[in-house]
Every structure is written in C-alpha cells, then in structure tokens.
C-alpha cells in the first residue's frame, strides 16, 4: 500500500469541499448583487471566483508534486500547470482533466490574475457575468473529472508493493 497516494486523495477531497463553498458563495453574492444592485457584493463574487480557481490550482500542484514530481517553473508556470493536468503522462498517470475543461478553467485562471492585480471596485458586472453563467457547468465537469482521477489515485494507493 502506498500511503502517500491515499493521503493525497484525502487532501484533494478536502480541497474539493472548500472549492464547493467558494462556488456557492460566488453564486449567492451574484444573486444578492442582482437583487440589491449593491456593488459590494461584486467584491465577494470576485474573491470567491478567485478562490475557486486557486483551490483547483492547489489540487493541481499537489498532483504535480506528489504524483509526477514535476511542477512547472518560470513566469508562465500557472498556464503550464493547467496544460500539464490535461495531458497523460505515460506510465505515470492519465489526464487529470479534459482539454475542454482546461480551456474553460483558463478563463478563471486569467480572471484570478486580474483580481490579484487591480482594485476590485474596478471590476464590472459585465466581466463577472459570463464567469458566473458558466460556473455551475465548469465546476460540475471539473469535479467529475477530479473524482475520476481520485479513483486512479486510490487504486494506486491500494496496490501491494
């Protein structure tokens, strides 16, 4: 039994639960903004969308470090990590996410960069709306793919040495 894989699976499951909270809070913030027009809710939406992608990236880093022993470096490491998760690494692991999911998540990665580098009061509802409109579908697909990957990790963890 390879305990490190089982520990990794546990950490991924914990992150998935945290990400679910960020998704729920982003949707709630958007609903409240639409009801009240109070742009303070947009700050909450932006930060929870930021947390959504950051949580996924944390999972991808855990996989890169613990399964592949290879995390991208350099200026574009965030983009490269996302690409790395969408490809099979022969003899090591299947793709973690699909190409379609990688493309969808890249929108959230880019938005996270925006949130980190500007004041949130400069974010427009028009910039947030497409991300919120797609969030449920992108999250459900990503979660399904990660749960499938968890089956692979847990099987590896239960192999006899």
Average pLDDT on 20-33 reads: 98
The pLDDT assigned to 159 comes to 82
Residues 32 and 42 sit within 8 Å (Cβ to Cβ)? no
Which residue's entry shows tokens 């930060």?
A: 47
**pLDDT of residue 161 exceeding 80:** no
**20-24, 36-40, 44-48, 75-79: which has the highest mean pLDDT?**
20-24
Query: Angle 99-117/125-158 helices, nearest 10 degrees?
Result: 130
d(CA 126, CA 128): 6
**pLDDT of residue 119 exceeding 70:** no
**Three-class SS string for 117-158?**
HCCHHHCCHHHHHHHHHHHHHHHHHHHHHHHHHHHHHHHHHH
**pLDDT of residue 160 exceeding 90:** no
3-state secondary structure of 93: strand
The pLDDT assigned to 123 comes to 80
Of the two residues 43 and 144, the one the predictor is more confident about is 144
Those residues whose C-beta lies under 8 Å from the C-beta of residue 73, and which sit 6 or more positions away, are none
């Amino acid at each position: 039994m390879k305990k490190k894989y089982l520990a990794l699976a546990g950490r991924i499951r914990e992150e998935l639960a945290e990400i679910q909270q960020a998704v729920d809070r982003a949707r709630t913030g958007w609903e409240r903004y639409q009801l009240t027009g109070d742009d303070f809710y947009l700050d909450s939406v932006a930060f929870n969308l930021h947390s959504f992608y950051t949580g996924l990236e944390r999972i991808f880093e855990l996989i890169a470090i613990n399964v592949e022993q290879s995390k991208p470096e350099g200026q574009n490491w965030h983009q490269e990590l996302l690409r790395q998760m969408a490809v099979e690494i022969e003899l090591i692991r299947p793709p973690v996410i699909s190409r379609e999911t990688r493309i969808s998540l890249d929108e959230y990665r880019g938005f996270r960069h925006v949130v980190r580098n500007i004041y949130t009061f400069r974010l427009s509802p028009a910039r947030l709306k497409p991300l919120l409109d797609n969030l449920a579908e992108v999250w459900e697909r990503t979660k399904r793919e990660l749960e499938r990957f968890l089956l692979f990790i847990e099987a590896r963890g239960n192999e006899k040495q």
